[in-house]
Structure 1
Amino acid sequence: MRLSLLLFFCLHGICWTKYTCVYQPKVLYVKEGESVTIPCSYTYPDYYRRKSQIIVTWGKAEGRYCSKITKNITDPSGNIVDDEYKDRISVVNNPENRTGSITIRGLKATDGVTFCCIETIYTTTSKAFSWFDIYGTTLTFADGKSLSQVEELIAVPGEEMVVPCHHPLKPPEKVIEVSWNSGDDVCRYTEDYRIYTWPQTFPEDGSLYSMVNFPEDVSLRIHGVRRNEHRSFCCRVTYSNGQYTESRFGTELTIAGPPSSGPFNVTQSYNITGHRGESVTLSCSYSPYMESDVLGVDIYWRAGNISGPYVYHPYKEMVHPNYRGRTGIIRVADLHIQGLEMSDASMYYCFVMIRWCRETGKHQKRIQYGGGTRLMVTASTDDKTESHLDPSVVIIASYLSFKFFFPLALFILVKIWYRNVTE
């Protein structure tokens, strides 16, 4: 009976978790003088909820891993204790949502370190247990001297896609080689992990991959994503002077599952109509999936078909130029499109990626997509008014007027002239 009740509640998205996880994005690309917000989400066993106190603090790591935190930035009360950040950091904690964040203003070159979010559980017996994401979040400055990759991408089996890799616009020497390796949590640049090199491919299935435009664009093109392509892609560029630059964290690719094939469902409205020049909202919702285990949810929208261009993506550079600056997510997953154009009439597909804690210290991702929403765009009132002034209609009307009414008018004028003359 107890197991049946547990299964019932789990299926309805209110399952109690017994795991602890902390999640942060591995890397954020920033610029000096600007601001950045580093998010953190966490889970903990629900039996701690009423019997314990859960505190989130922040620190800086020595090196690249949060296992060696050299300096605390905040204390358990949320106060800034690091003089370097006294006037530059603000802290936000949302215990109910199990999230927190810090915002750093006026970024300096010395901020290019790893920031760690630490979750500590203080029990009623005065015991304390702490957890953190081993990789934390490394701030990398976009100084034009290093590589940059997006952290994660989604795909459907069979689609052709590009994994971006941006290398310096003015490299120190000529680019002579690019290698792409398969990674796990971090990039590993050994032959065992190599999947493609340019100008020489390795291994023999090189036809599966190609360069976008070597050496200007060393992004990797995948010709037909395979169903088991769950992996990270890591980029490394070698120059003619023997030096190289490489990504520490690659781009993690996750394959989406079709509707009703996974642990949660994505639902979309089927048809919707909008007027040219106005705005429209396409609804998307998903069933809860063990809410207490969820570490984060990302939303994507694609147009045309399930492998079509992105009309919304967490990374703005992935959004198709025709939609860039016109789309956004409102509420939970609804797509809002501004300034509708007639060319926007299409099918739109909502993708939902849920990241959850599958066991202590380890998280997993799952992506599902909906059945699509057909957007129909009609002409606005102004357009309809203008349609009466269509040039072709004007020409035809003029021709008919000339053919039928001009002879009649000429006949009347001649008759009036003749009467005047005879009188």
Structure 2
Amino acid sequence: MRLFIVISLYFLGITGSPGCVHQMTTRTVQSGGSVTIPCSYSDPEKPDEDVRVIWRETDKKYCSFTAAEDTIISPSGNVTEKYKGRLYREKDPNRNRTEYIKITGLEPTDGPRFCCQLYDNRHENVFKDSRLSTLLQFPGTEDITQLDEVMAVSREEGIIPCYYSKDISDITKVTWYFADRERHHCTHIPIHEWSNARQYGRYSLVNFTQDISLHIHNLHVNNERSYCCVISTARATLKSKQFTRLIVAEYQSSFNLPTKEISLQKGHSVTLTCSYTLPSDRYTERDVVRVNVYWRVGNITGPYAYHPYRDMVHSTYRHRTSITGMTNLMIMDVMKADNTSFHCFVVVKRCAGKYQYEDDIQYGGGTRLIIKEYFTEPSEPPPIPSFGQEYLVLAAYVAVKFFIAVILVVLGCVYGRAKNTKRST
């Protein structure tokens, strides 16, 4: 009987789907600027035509507590008065079940948090949300920012960034913790705490007190965990509102050998391809909620030619690279420095249960670029020596005189024949 009720409620659209909805937890923004907030979800086990993404504004951390009156985009697409003319949404052209909202002319009164929820248009109810809302962090507030995800290769020197919004010299102590990914909070297991520049085993700060990012020496695959940053100043102790998931690819020597080679001229644009496959025996495209791509330059542990977080991109490429399709890298205005190899890594995030995710990292291939200089215009032919010019003039003079003589002889013959013909008549 109980099973019958559960099944009946499911078909009526009253119970939740086992699928996942995913959002980023923070976005750093500027007043007057704009922000793009993605929302992606795995197979909701409902017909796609019945599913709508709605967005709500809230001051709460968890989306499940948002009220219907906080809706800023309705199932029909109507935008609330506060955001009219400033808020737009669009589908991802490369991925099903991914949508973005873009808010322009940002104001400190916006948000501060936004939730995306799945709405069953047939039964008119919300049946799934992302649990955690996306927080907008404006300048002027005292807070810590971390990246949602960082990828690395085993054996390299890994860096997990932590940014403090105020004067970093005010920091008296930094503590890095392992984070509970499912409950989304710092555990009570500190990696280590620093109030000086010492290194503890494989962990250190990049440059205390100028850079409080975590440096993990000689990364292992078992370092694939979530990390959170806590700082202390004379005024307060602050915890990051976003934790960083470290994804580690097992090192393979074959990664260092690019399989493709492209030659082109300096100043042109080029697109480098990157591919990945899903292990169909474990999951399918319907389970995927997000795909992130990383391109490294020079070697598999080199700086980033592309990173989902623009601040992580090397300054040489920050305004010259973008992603086309799902994973391909476009480089504009190539230069001599691009005469090197580029390596692609893909991180696939999939739904593994209610509010639970698994990450798979794949090497997507390497490409060697060969940059050629511009082709130069052909140079002017060398001047003809003066004695050559004299010979040419003389030859031309003789040829003209010979031509005139031939014409005179021909005319003389014609005239003589005509005269003889006249006499005979």
Q: TM-score, normalised by structure 1?
A: 0.75
In structure 2, relative to structure 1, the CA distance for the partners of 1:134 and 1:198 (3 Å cut) is same
In structure 2, relative to structure 1, the CA distance for the partners of 1:40 and 1:187 (3 Å cut) is closer
> Deviation of residue 365 (structure 1)?
1.7
Matched, 1:181 2:177: yes
Structure 2 residue matching 1:370: 3-state secondary structure: strand
% identical aligned pairs: 36
Match of 1:278 among 268, 278, 296: 268
Matched, 1:161 2:158: yes
In structure 2, relative to structure 1, the CA distance for the partners of 1:147 and 1:128 (3 Å cut) is closer
Amino acid at match of 1:35: S
Alignment of 1:147-226 (within 5 A): 147-170=144-167, 174-185=170-181, 188-189=185-186, 192-199=188-195, 206-226=200-220
Cα separation, 2, equivalents of 1:33 and 1:247: 25
Cα separation, 1, equivalents of 2:233 and 2:277: 50
2:221–2:250 CA contact under 8 A, matched in 1: no
Amino acid at match of 2:266: R
Alignment of 1:4-403 (within 5 A): 19-46=18-45, 48-49=46-47, 53-70=50-67, 71-80=70-79, 82-92=80-90, 97-121=96-120, 126=123, 128=125, 130-143=127-140, 145-170=142-167, 174-185=170-181, 188-189=185-186, 192-199=188-195, 206-241=200-235, 243-257=236-250, 270-288=260-278, 290-382=284-376
Cα separation, 1, equivalents of 2:193 and 2:92: 45
> Deviation of residue 135 (structure 1)?
0.4
> Deviation of residue 97 (structure 1)?
1.8
Cα separation, 2, equivalents of 1:268 and 1:19: 40
Structure 1 residue matching 2:50: 3-state secondary structure: strand
Cα separation, 2, equivalents of 1:163 and 1:228: 15
Cα separation, 1, equivalents of 2:92 and 2:311: 30
Alpha-carbon displacement from aligned partner over 1:311-362 (angstroms, at most 9, x marks no partner): 1111111112222222222233222222323332222111111122223443
In structure 2, relative to structure 1, the CA distance for the partners of 1:281 and 1:86 (3 Å cut) is closer
1:268–1:285 CA contact under 8 A, matched in 2: no
Structure 2 residue matching 1:111: 3-state secondary structure: coil
Alpha-carbon displacement from aligned partner over 1:4-45 (angstroms, at most 9, x marks no partner): xxxxxxxxxxxxxx8421111111111111121211112235
1:268–1:283 CA contact under 8 A, matched in 2: no
Cα separation, 1, equivalents of 2:369 and 2:87: 44
Cα separation, 2, equivalents of 1:44 and 1:326: 35
In structure 2, relative to structure 1, the CA distance for the partners of 1:116 and 1:274 (3 Å cut) is same
Stretch moving more, 267-276 or 99-108: 267-276
> Deviation of residue 128 (structure 1)?
4.6
1:352–1:369 CA contact under 8 A, matched in 2: yes
1:19–1:358 CA contact under 8 A, matched in 2: no
Q: Where in structure 1 are there 5+ consecutive unaligned residues?
A: 1-17, 262-266, 387-423
2:51–2:119 CA contact under 8 A, matched in 1: yes
Q: TM-score, normalised by structure 2?
A: 0.75
Amino acid at match of 1:326: R
> Deviation of residue 131 (structure 1)?
0.4
Amino acid at match of 2:351: C
2:231–2:237 CA contact under 8 A, matched in 1: yes
> Deviation of residue 106 (structure 1)?
1.8
Cα separation, 2, equivalents of 1:378 and 1:93: 39
Cα separation, 2, equivalents of 1:325 and 1:91: 25
Q: Where in structure 2 are there 5+ consecutive unaligned residues?
A: 1-16, 380-425
2:144–2:241 CA contact under 8 A, matched in 1: no
Cα separation, 1, equivalents of 2:220 and 2:105: 43
Structure 2 residue matching 1:207: 3-state secondary structure: coil
Structure 1 residue matching 2:144: 3-state secondary structure: coil
Alpha-carbon displacement from aligned partner over 1:264-313 (angstroms, at most 9, x marks no partner): xxx98511112223222222222356222221211111122211111111
2:247–2:361 CA contact under 8 A, matched in 1: yes
Cα separation, 1, equivalents of 2:352 and 2:305: 31
2:258–2:341 CA contact under 8 A, matched in 1: no
Structure 2 residue matching 1:40: 3-state secondary structure: strand
Cα separation, 2, equivalents of 1:109 and 1:60: 13
Cα separation, 2, equivalents of 1:197 and 1:327: 37
Cα separation, 1, equivalents of 2:85 and 2:337: 49
> Deviation of residue 102 (structure 1)?
2.1
Amino acid at match of 2:57: K
In structure 2, relative to structure 1, the CA distance for the partners of 1:239 and 1:62 (3 Å cut) is closer
Structure 2 residue matching 1:67: 3-state secondary structure: helix
2:274–2:365 CA contact under 8 A, matched in 1: no
Amino acid at match of 1:26: T
2:230–2:240 CA contact under 8 A, matched in 1: yes
> Deviation of residue 201 (structure 1)?
9.4
1:328–1:335 CA contact under 8 A, matched in 2: yes
